[in-house]
Structure 1
Amino acid sequence: MQNEPSKPLRKIIHIDMDAFYASIEQRDFPEYRGKPIVVGGSPEGRGGVVATASYEARKFGVRSAMPSKRALQLCPDAIFVRPRFDVYKEVSRRIREIFHRYTDLIEPLSLDEAFLDVTQDKLQIGSAIEVAKLIKQAIKDELRLTASAGVSVNKFVAKIASDMQKPDGLTFIGPSAIEDFMEKLPVEKFFGVGKVTADKMKRMGLHTGADLKKLTEADLTQHFGKPGRFYYRIVRGIDERPVEPHRETKSLSAEDTFPYDLTTLEEMNTELDKLSLTVHNRLVKYNLKGRTITLKVKYSDFRQITRNLSLSYPVNDVATIQATARQLMAAAFYEDNKVRLLGIGLSNFGEILPPANGQLELF
């Protein structure tokens, strides 16, 4: 692994709570323990979206952002539970208090995960592994929940490591092991590599980090654009991004590239409805509402347009997102245009105010 001699190695921890919402429900309601719990919208009627699922439900293939109807098909015995976001936010606040005992360099990614830089921890423990153990134990003792931790010298590796021994895991990947670890990592596990990019890489014979490492930076940039530079560095274990305590989310989006071109407005609206559900679920996860809704359209000739509409108040309900996206699509649609990609984004975030009953409209 390459490091500048003048720079001391950082000590980065990524903490990721285990099935956060579902685990809180199982903690608070003994009758849910050991059962397949799905937190999210009801599968009845119009149907909702899965916010998260317990590990008992995940064994059946139930995943976040999945339509609740599909979750019920996969796991007929699933128990659907309405989310209690006020409770989840309070638990998240208490988890942050535990983090702050050891460092103030905390970068929250959502209610249930965060990066911590403990290069110089407050209690002068000196060992990031020991700090991670103490944090995990405090969460277990004080909140009766489990968390998984990844420990390394940069954010990328720490985040991947936290997912390796879930639930209740702790994985350390030290400096001398990083390059070997990255070489064995499947390309779909790399940050920024979605399904389309992963498929393209595999068609090129690139299946692991070791395969990517054979290409020059110029080669990777030629094939993958600006992200190619990131792939070149990260496969060599180089990630200098700092932990940012005051990072502010500016926008949130979801997009999809289709295996065939869409040619009718009906097809496009169907895909926009799916993307709206994904965006809604992410907004809820990050506790955000946005005033500006943006539509992204890429045509079969790779021409790309964006259209947006700003509302007078911030929203995150799926019905408004769907309706606005459809409105923007109708204005941009004309015959004989073939669409290969659609995306929906929200920005211009405002303060989120919980509804009086503590539940979001979708649920």
Structure 2
Amino acid sequence: MFVSDLRASPAAAPSRGRGRPRIEVRAEASILHADLDSFYASVEQRDDPRLRGKPVIVGGGVVLAASYEAKAFGVRTPMNGARARRLCPNAIVVPPRMSAYSEASKAVFEVFRDTTPVVEGISIDEAFLDVGGLRRIAGPPLDIAQRLRARVRDEVGLPISVGIARTKFLAKVASAVAKPDGLRLVPPTAELDFLHPLPVERLWGVGEVTARTLHEHGVTRIGQLADLGEGALRGFLGPAAARHLFALSMARDPRRVETGRRRRSIGAQRALGRRSRPADEIEAYLHGLTDRLGRRLRTADRVCRTVVLRMRFDDFSRATRSRTLAEATDHTDTLLLAARLLLAEAMPMIQERGLTLIGLALTNLGDADAVQLTLPLEPRADNTLDATLDDLRRRFGSAAVTRAALIDRGEGLSVPLLPD
């Protein structure tokens, strides 16, 4: 049996009708955050010895990944490819190989699951691992982390950084600080000493806008945010953000490492570059994104209620538009109709500001077998156009059937993902 090293407070024992006890902080730093370093670029360097030690950029038009040798010149994702090559003229640009990255991810996750049964995948190249109940059979968390890094290096051939802490948030920050190819343990007695000197951008929920607001109020370090207190933060961040960020600044994060948790949303996007695109071309790309997401929904036996259009403009600002459907669905034409209506509403703004990226997200997901059947209470048909197209693409590849509007334009890259 897997036994975690969590402690429940006696005062928090469940009273009648109040549910399970509140989980207090761990006694030991036993949550690992394992994160592969520059994943796509590392796979390319592993598979081609000529690339090792060289600045490598994966992707031409947009930087999908950059090796640390390229990052030293300021190359970042998702930077425009031309700008990246100006920053790093000696960079070696290679096309992405999504199947290779998918296989490498599967091999790494096999190591994760062989290390502990409690693994929460975050993306194809990172995960949380709870090793709190393994001390008697596998040793302390630091030893487990060292063996995990060695196995990923020896068995998969990739560098990986690992952070160890009592909370998921601190473990993730520790792995980021440890990069590249490092290991960082944050002992319970030194959590605030580790956290408070770091920039506020390390806090989950601090993006460009929030960081700018904090900087305007003289807050650049996490320790300064903690010193202000929740009350002062509420005045310029609002109550929810103030409560969340103050809790993180004090290393409070009660979330468990969860296994088997399903996605709340799925999405896909396509970079368009800075060239002006006609409306019909933008709509064609929207069709391709809808086809891709509808296929993912049906493969995962899920349905969605809300369609979200995401846009990035020429001035790097962003906007979203959403529409909630009358009932949950996985029907491509229904999703496409909602997406096209959103795009039509946003088209004046796109023509005024220029579009550099278009994305689509499906949210409010539910399980397909939980959908209310309509009269005459027949189950979902398996001989629909969607089902036929899904079968063809499954058997012959995703490019076997495509919309006429996407001929010579392509469907764009399908980034490997964890199961939906």
Structure 1 equivalent of residue 346 of structure 2: 329
Range with greater deviation from structure 2 (22-31 or 147-156): 22-31
Report the CA distance between 1:115 and its aligned residue: 0.6
- What's the secondary structure of 1:145's corresponding residue? coil
1:63 and 2:68 matched: no
| Deviation string, structure 1 residues 182-236 (Cα, Å, up to 9, x no partner) | 2212111111101111111111111212211223323323422312111121111
Q: CA RMSD in A?
A: 4.1
Structure 1 equivalent of residue 248 of structure 2: 234
- Alpha-carbon distance change, 333 to 23 in structure 1, aligned in 2, over 3 angstroms: closer
Report the CA distance between 1:248 and its aligned residue: 2.5
Gap runs ≥5 in structure 2: 1-6, 11-23, 269-274, 299-303, 312-318, 334-338, 369-389, 401-409, 414-420
CA contact (8 A) 2:159 2:181 kept: yes
CA contact (8 A) 2:309 2:361 kept: no
CA contact (8 A) 2:31 2:129 kept: yes
Instruction: Kindly provide the amino acid, as one letter, of the partner of residue 106 in structure 2.
Output: R
1:193 and 2:206 matched: yes
Separation in 2, partners of 1:112, 1:252: 17
CA contact (8 A) 1:102 1:123 kept: no
1:202 and 2:215 matched: yes
CA contact (8 A) 1:15 1:149 kept: yes
- Alpha-carbon distance change, 153 to 110 in structure 1, aligned in 2, over 3 angstroms: same
1:87-236 aligned at under 5 Å gives the runs: 87-121=100-134, 124-225=137-238, 226-236=240-250
1:355 and 2:373 matched: no
Identical pairs, percent: 35
CA contact (8 A) 1:307 1:328 kept: no
CA contact (8 A) 2:116 2:131 kept: yes
Separation in 1, partners of 2:62, 2:345: 24
| Deviation string, structure 1 residues 51-87 (Cα, Å, up to 9, x no partner) | 1111111111111211222222222222221211112
Counterpart pick for 1:49 among 57, 62, 67: 62
Aligned residues: 315
| Deviation string, structure 1 residues 23-64 (Cα, Å, up to 9, x no partner) | 111111122222221112x2xxxxx22111111111111112
TM-score by length of 1: 0.73
| Deviation string, structure 1 residues 70-116 (Cα, Å, up to 9, x no partner) | 22222222222121111211111111111112211111111111111
Structure 2 equivalent of residue 21 of structure 1: 40
| Deviation string, structure 1 residues 244-266 (Cα, Å, up to 9, x no partner) | 21222223679xxxxxxxxxxx9
- What's the secondary structure of 1:294's corresponding residue? strand
* Larger RCO: 1 or 2 (CA < 8 Å, sep 6+): 1
Separation in 1, partners of 2:320, 2:111: 45
Report the CA distance between 1:147 and its aligned residue: 0.5
Structure 2 equivalent of residue 251 of structure 1: 265
CA contact (8 A) 2:322 2:342 kept: no
Instruction: Kindly provide the amino acid, as one letter, of the partner of residue 235 in structure 1.
Output: S
CA contact (8 A) 2:321 2:342 kept: no
Instruction: Kindly provide the amino acid, as one letter, of the partner of residue 204 in structure 1.
Output: H
Range with greater deviation from structure 2 (144-153 or 124-133): 124-133
- Alpha-carbon distance change, 175 to 39 in structure 1, aligned in 2, over 3 angstroms: same
- Alpha-carbon distance change, 185 to 126 in structure 1, aligned in 2, over 3 angstroms: same
Separation in 1, partners of 2:399, 2:136: 42
